[in-house]
Structure 1
């Protein structure tokens, strides 16, 4: 096999249009809801974040940053982030800095 004629990734540099997916919404156009709730959590307060519409890996990275900033635990269940405790104000400020437009729902 001759050397120097390998062109496996040559077309990648020319055809990277798949990276620009027009179906993906802009962060500011998404309806992100931050809610404080206690229902079904044995009386413990939990902050729920819905509507981020991120991939699983992006959501995990964002959740890790939120947990670090808030100093609490949290989980990702079916696209919904849950943070332990009342972290509404802190999470809204962080999401706004990340480019989202969060809204508080509930009381």
Structure 2
């Protein structure tokens, strides 16, 4: 078995790495020997939507003492926008709810009302889970 020895510059050209790449912006840097692991700055204020544009609805009872809730995920927007949508859903369904980590949680098992309210707000909804 023979090995071909190449220089670092040739290797960088083959790999598509330019010499300027070592001066890359810090958001692409993952680990540094000087500082350790570098976490990218993410805005907690903006939440990403689902890639297919559909809002996912899921009925859950786990860790809630057997009480059912509807978890709504996949709505893109800031926390304030999600809270405004949550407020409209709570008023339409006459129940409680909250926004946690980019998901809207509506209390009680009111599947039809939640789906109808989202349709009125202009969202395409899909039921997920069991």
TM-score (ref. length: structure 2): 0.58
- Matches for 1:76-95 after TM superposition, within 5 Å: 76-95=99-118
Partner of 2:55: 32
Choose between structure 1 and 2 for higher RCO, CA contacts under 8 A separated by at least 6 residues. Answer: 1
Task: Return 5+ residue gaps in structure 2 as ranges.
Answer: 1-47
Aligned residues: 82
How far the C-alpha of 1:86 sits from its partner, in A, is 0.4
- Counterparts of 2:103 and 2:64, CA distance in 1: 15
- Counterparts of 1:54 and 1:96, CA distance in 2: 17
Does residue 101 in structure 1 map to residue 128 in structure 2?
no
Q: Which runs of 4+ in 1 moved over 6 A?
A: none
How far the C-alpha of 1:31 sits from its partner, in A, is 2.2
CA RMSD, Structure 1 to Structure 2 (Å): 2.1
* Larger Rg, first or second structure (1 or 2): 2
How far the C-alpha of 1:97 sits from its partner, in A, is 1.5
- Counterparts of 2:77 and 2:119, CA distance in 1: 16
Judge conservation of contact 1:35–1:88 (CA < 8 Å) in 2: no
How far the C-alpha of 1:61 sits from its partner, in A, is 0.7
How far the C-alpha of 1:68 sits from its partner, in A, is 0.5
